[in-house]
Amino acid sequence: MSLASVIRSEQALLVPTYDRYKILLQQGSGVYLQDAHGNRYLDFLSGIGVNALGYRHAAIRRTLKKQAGRLIHVSNLFFHPYQAKLAQRLTKISGLQRAFFCNSGTEAWEGALKFARAYARSQSHNGSKPRWRILALDNSFHGRTFGALATTGQAKYREPFAPLLSGVSFVAFNDVVDLIRKFDSSVCAICIETVQGEGGIRPVNPEFLQLARKLTRKTGALLVLDEIQCGLGRTGRYFAYQHYGIQPDIVTVAKPLAAGLPLGAVLTTNRVAHALHPGMHGSTFGGGPLACAVAIEFLSVLEGLLSHVSESGDYLRSRLDWLKAKHSCVREVRGLGLMLGMELDSAEKAKAAVSQMLQRGILINRTNENTLRFLPPYIIQERHIDQMARALEKVLSSGRPQPVRQRRARKSTRRENQN
Ligand SMILES: Cc1ncc(COP(=O)(O)O)c(C=O)c1O
């Protein structure tokens, strides 16, 4: 099927929720993707943070093959060996005690909100009204289902679907005065992305996060962290909150967890878990044997990659800082580990930069209008970072947006497919 015919069919058949780049991807290897014309792309996006081990990772392929040959799905009416094994790994690395498995980031976030409300209810005594208010942050993104949308601090996502869940207030990002002003004993949860992803790669300030921890501890409200994009090694530690010396009550993860298969998890404490009982929450597919077996393998590989992520993150940052020093259109470079953003002085320039990088065979994207986002696979090497930085240097030097041209088709060679 040609790109043109896929586009025609999709335009006729799909609900138009996506604005795709005109590339027909066919296969991947290491940190490279290849399209139907044999063009190769160096991937600095990882399927928006999913393909942390790149493509065709040998251990993941082995586990997939083995487990697919045994058992792909069983309902949550029955046991299989891998949920508990995966929960053991996740609780060990997070310092939390319990896990609930689902299929995506949004679902994990919905679970977290329900757990917070259920916990608040379990704590209310003598007919007192349970804590119900949720504080979320301006500019946040937690997903696209109703609860997740209701806590997403960007009007463009919320407004088309209003009215949403009630009881949510937004706090200005990193504004401790606003947090103190909006927090009271009616709050059941403070919700924070440790590093905002869709909001433009913005790490929360230590002072703000520590205050949120202190306030919630005082009243018994929960500190709920969304690490769907920034968790599971992306920042060079297992969890981004581990850079801040605090421990949350709930953390959500998804994207890279099962190396490309859909799997999300809510991790929490015994205290919160005791507010739930069978029937209160669940999922048909969540925590199936195939996804869990692959996730266990992912975590084993991740253990040996964390320091590489830190070092590569430092190197990538140094290259982006070098570009900032050379180009006045770069306002700021920010982020943690291999989750970095480069804010440009206009959305138009950022849009053009993404297109021009694509023409040069490098995938990045744009978040929050004017911020270039870099989320490479954890296996990225310095030479790939240099290649990307050289291309970006040329793009930023070109000075003004140029129209997007289709890359010429060319035959790939075996050598090109190696990373
Ligand atoms: C921080 C954060 N939370 C939640 C989500 C939603 O995850 P999903 O698209 O898997 O439902 C995303 C997705 O980008 C995210 O970055």
What separation in Å is there between the alpha carbon of 143 and the centre of ligand 1? 5
For residue 337, the model assigns a pLDDT of: 98
pLDDT of residue 232: 98
Q: Is the pLDDT of residue 131 over 90?
A: yes
Q: Which atom of ligand 1 is found nearest the CA of 198? A: 16
Kindly give, in sequence order, each residue whose CB lies less than 8 Å from that of residue 156, ignoring residues fewer than 6 positions away: none
Lowest-confidence region among 97-106, 119-128, 388-397: 119-128
Ligand 1 centroid, distance to 194 Cα (angstroms): 13
Position 79: which residue type? Answer: F
Ligand 1 contacts CB of residue 170 (under 6 A): no
Mean pLDDT of the chain: 95
User: For residues 224 and 108, is the Cβ–Cβ distance under 8 A?
Assistant: no
- Per-residue pLDDT tens digits for 388-414: 999 999 999 996 545 445 555 444 433
With a 6 Å cutoff on the Cβ, whether 105 touches ligand 1 is yes
Cα 418 to middle of ligand 1, angstroms: 30
Confidence of residue 417 (pLDDT cuts 50, 70, 90): very low
Write the DSSP assignment of 214-240 as a string of letters. Answer: HHHHHHT-EEEEE-TTTTTTTTSSSSG
- For residue 418, is pLDDT > 70? no
Judge whether residue 114 has pLDDT over 90: yes
Take atom 4 of ligand 1 and give the residue whose Cα is closest.
142
Quick one: which of 273, 332, 263, 224 has its CA closest to 73? Answer: 263
Give the distance, in angstroms, between the CA of residue 31 and the centroid of all CA atoms in the same chain.
18
Q: Is residue 68's pLDDT more than 60?
A: yes
pLDDT (tens digit, 9 = 90+) per residue, 345-367? 999 999 999 999 999 999 999 99
Nearest ligand 1 atom to the CA of 143 is 6
pLDDT value of position 400: 56
Which has the closest alpha carbon to 24: 4, 50, 48, 51? 4
Our answer on whether the CB atom of 202 is closer than 6 Å to any ligand 1 atom is no
Ligand 1 neighbour 327 (Cβ under 6 A): no
* Secondary structure of residue 402 in the 3-state scheme: coil
Our answer on whether the CB atom of 141 is closer than 6 Å to any ligand 1 atom is yes
pLDDT in tens, 251-265: 999 999 999 999 999
Mean pLDDT across the stretch 165-180? Answer: 97
Q: Answer yes or no: is the C-beta of 195 below 6 A from any ligand 1 atom.
A: no
Going from the Cα of 321 to the center of ligand 1, the distance in angstroms, rounded, reads 27
Q: Which has more pLDDT, 22 or 125? A: 22
Ligand 1 center–CA 113 separation, angstroms: 14
Q: Does residue 199 have a pLDDT over 70?
A: yes
Would you state the pLDDT for residue 403? 46
Mean pLDDT of 200-208: 98
The atom number, within ligand 1, closest to the CA of 196 reads: 1
Mean pLDDT of 100-117: 98
CB 204 within 8 A of CB 211: no
Average pLDDT value for residue range 360-387: 98
CA distances from 130 to 3, 116, 119, 168, 187 (A): 54, 11, 9, 15, 9
Taking only the tens place, the pLDDT of each residue in 280-305 is 999 999 999 999 999 999 999 999 99
**67 ligand 1 Cβ < 6 A:** no
CB 143 near ligand 1, within 6 Å:
yes
At residue 143, does pLDDT exceed 60?
Answer: yes
Question: Please, which pLDDT band fits residue 127 given cuts at 50, 70 and 90?
Answer: confident
231 lines ligand 1 (CB under 6 A): no
- For atom 8 of ligand 1, the residue with the nearest CA is 105
**Is the CB of 367 within 6 Å of ligand 1?**
no
Which atom of ligand 1 approaches the CA of 262 most closely? 10
Distance 415 CA to ligand 1 centre (A): 35
Assess whether the C-beta atom of 216 lies below 6 angstroms from ligand 1.
no
Q: What are phi and psi of 226, to 5 degrees?
A: -95, 105
Q: What is the largest CA-CA distance in the chain?
A: 73
Section 369-395 average pLDDT: 98
What is the Cα–Cα distance from 110 to 106, expressed in whole angstroms?
Answer: 6
Position 419 scores a pLDDT of 37
pLDDT of 181 reads 98
The per-residue pLDDT for 411 is 43
